Structure 1
């Protein structure tokens, strides 16, 4: 309940600050066409993510039928959006995918599959940070270039620490993961499959955000594809809320003015984006979850 209150409080404060009338006016512009298009792309997100999980699991020796992977991913996506932390659905997915020899291999497949998607996000967002000074120099706040350099410095420091850690006992444990990492991300063309599925999934998330902005009456320029939107989406990785609500809206309200738009327009686009993502998986997630629970209850009664 505290997490829900936290998300609601952030959104309520943002709506109040940017003027509720502007947010209401933005939603009055929303038409059925963009909404249906956004919901259709959400289905593509789930299918691509499920195929990535299926591929990752197969490389670790676990065979998952495509239909089952898609159904389980709908359940996990729905649960992740309604429970705090954004990981509960993945835990359920790992439990339900457990094999006779335990749950460690299924859990490893899910962790590596999620890692593949997050690496694609970070790659795109990182590229955007270097693009900003070139394309948005007039709108950037003073000292932004310095912040980019500081960020690069932090990355270098982390990489250096990683090399130091590589000489410790932790590296010995990492050695055990090398075969799995190689199988999932490198051997037999794995890199091309992982990169393709993850990047297309990330682009589908961005497309939904672009559609949400268009639907609320403030279309985003193309530069938003690799600048503000990836940063907004990355805030959803912060495990402080539910489904990214609140943190995503705060980021949009802060970043949209850098593109010459208003904070109200950013907030409205982010709110519609969240609604599209939730409504895009909720019906199927609830249906598949109810079906699974009914089957389990039936087996238990036998």
Structure 2
């Protein structure tokens, strides 16, 4: 409970600091005159991303011989996103997915299906970031990136390799690196990983447009993925505070001010919460992912 309180306070403090540092009136004005068609695009992109990620999880579970129907996967994913949106840490909903699907498998395989599916999504987002930064090197006259960004690009694959090596040192997770390599060779899973990442970027871009900012092409797969990277910091509730801070720091690199970055972050956070609200309906839908497997669908 103490850790939850720390995460909640961290998000609240960071968001308050961003609003104090920027022009609160300007941020509020951008949000007040938000463009509804672009809000609809953001919400639609996040909804499609949820469906794609649910399918990604279904296919990942099938690779572990865990039968989950697509409808059940969607139900569980919405529940997980709703919990992750309102509780600190951003993983409690995913833990719940693993616990409930254990009825169709042992808890270790259920947990691996959730962890591997989330990892595939993060790898896809990091891949977009890497391609964007490589493109920034090849195309002269673009963003003048600070050295820390290039250090991050080098550090990410090293950290992933260290994490996979560490997983092999423990009996409970020894098979996890092999599972990840298997999934990388699964075309449909990779496709949904990339599609989910692209839809999340579209949702964030639409939130920027809704609040009056136009992200230039050189920022689509550099600045926006970096904002998503900031949301992975575990000391937060659904990325609040870190997302706005990253956007405020990065937006001046693409000719936009910090006010625009904070407004985009708040707008996107609201769209994330709104897109997760169908999870409330699923709370009253009988059954869970492991209770009644539906047609597994094509794999």
Which TM-score applies when normalising by structure 1?
A: 0.84
1:285: which partner in 2? 279
2:66 and 2:104 in contact (8 A); partners too: no
Q: State the superposition RMSD in angstroms.
A: 2.9
Quote the Cα distance in structure 2 between the aligned partners of 1:159 and 1:36: 35
Looking at CA atoms only, which structure, 1 or 2, has the larger radius of gyration?
1
2: CA distance, partners of 1:243 / 1:264? 21
Residue 198 of structure 2 corresponds to: 203
Match of 2:250 in 1: 255
Alpha-carbon distance change, 115 to 21 in structure 1, aligned in 2, over 3 angstroms: same
TM-score by length of 2: 0.85
Q: Could you tell me how far apart the structure 1 residues matched to 2:158 and 2:206 are?
A: 38
- Label 1:172 to 1:46 Cα distance change in 2 as closer, same or farther (>3 A): closer
Matched, 1:170 2:174: no
1:245 is displaced (CA, Å) by 0.4
Instruction: Tell me how far apart the structure 1 counterparts of residues 152 and 162 of structure 2 sit (CA, whole Å).
Output: 15
Q: Tell me which residue corresponds to 1:299.
A: none
Structure 1 unaligned residues grouped into runs of 5+:
295-302
The reply on whether 1:22 has 2:21 as its aligned counterpart is no
Are 1:122 and 2:126 counterparts?
A: yes
8 Å contact kept, 1:3–1:241: yes
Is the contact made by 2:50 and 2:77 (CA closer than 8 Å) also made in structure 1? yes
Determine if the alignment matches structure 1 residue 240 to structure 2 residue 270: no
Find the aligned partners of 2:46 and 2:160 in 1 and give their Cα distance.
35
In the comparison of the two structures, how many residue pairs are matched? Answer: 284
**2:183 alignment counterpart:** 184
Do 1:252 and 1:266's aligned partners in 2 also have CA atoms closer than 8 Å? Answer: yes
Separation in 2, partners of 1:237, 1:16:
23
Which sections of structure 2, spanning at least 5 residues, go unmatched? 289-299
Q: Cα deviation per residue 1:5-41 (whole Å; 9 max; x = unaligned)? A: 3212211221121111110121132132222222122
